[in-house]
Amino acid sequence: MSSISTPPSHSISTSPSHWLSECLCELMASPHVSMPPHGGMRLGPGPMDVFTTRFEQYFTSTAHGTICGHPVDREGLKEGLLALQKRWTPEDVKVEQEGNDCLLQHDVLSTELEFTPPGSSIPEVIIAQASLSGDKEGEKHIRFIKLEGNRALFRP
C-alpha cells in the first residue's frame, strides 16, 4: 500500500522562508502514475498518483499562471510541471539565497531553484513567484504562479 509522506505545512504564518521551495521540490519528487482509461471498468485499487494528490493540495481549484511568459490555466500548469518533473533531479536541487524563499509582499513568495538535468553538465535555474490564498482553516494554497527558466524544460 502506497503512502504519501507529510507535505510541507500549508500554513506560512510562522515561517514563510521555505514554503514555496519545499512545495515545488516535494511536487517534483512525487511519483506520477498515468492510468490509461479502461472503458469505465473498475479494476480495483491501483498505484497512488502522489503528484496529482500534492498538486491538488498545493494549488487552488482556480489556479493559473505563466510559464516562461505564456499564460496557462490550471491544467496547463500541471502539464508544464509534469514536463519539468521528467528532467528534474531531486537529489541535486539547490535552493538559492541560503535556502530562503523571499516574501515579496503579503501572500506573495519567490524562490529560485537550481538543478542539473540527467545527461547534462549545465545547471538549469527555475525562478518561481507565487501568489497565495488562504482557506477557512488558515491553510495556504497557490492561486497564481509565474515560472521562468529554460522553456524546453516545461514542454512534454
For residue range 93-109, list pLDDT tens digits in order.
999 754 445 556 667 89
For residue range 11-30, list pLDDT tens digits in order.
444 345 588 999 999 999 99
CATH 3.10.450.50 matches 19-31+47-154: yes
Boundaries of every domain in the chain: 19-31+47-154
What would the grid cell of residue 142 be? Answer: 497557490
The C-alpha angle with vertex 121 and arms to 115 and 123, in degrees rounded to 5, equals: 30
More confident residue, 91 or 49: 91
Q: Is the dihedral of CA 7, 10, 12, 16 positive or negative?
A: positive
Strand segments, DSSP code E, in 3-139 are: 59-67, 70-72, 94-95, 102-105, 108-115, 124-134
pLDDT of 20:
92
pTM: 0.79
Average pLDDT over residues 138-156: 94
DSSP 92: G
Q: Is the dihedral of CA 67, 10, 116, 51 positive or negative?
A: negative
pLDDT of 136:
66
More confident residue, 143 or 33: 143
Average pLDDT over residues 77-85: 97
What would the grid cell of residue 35 be? Answer: 492510468
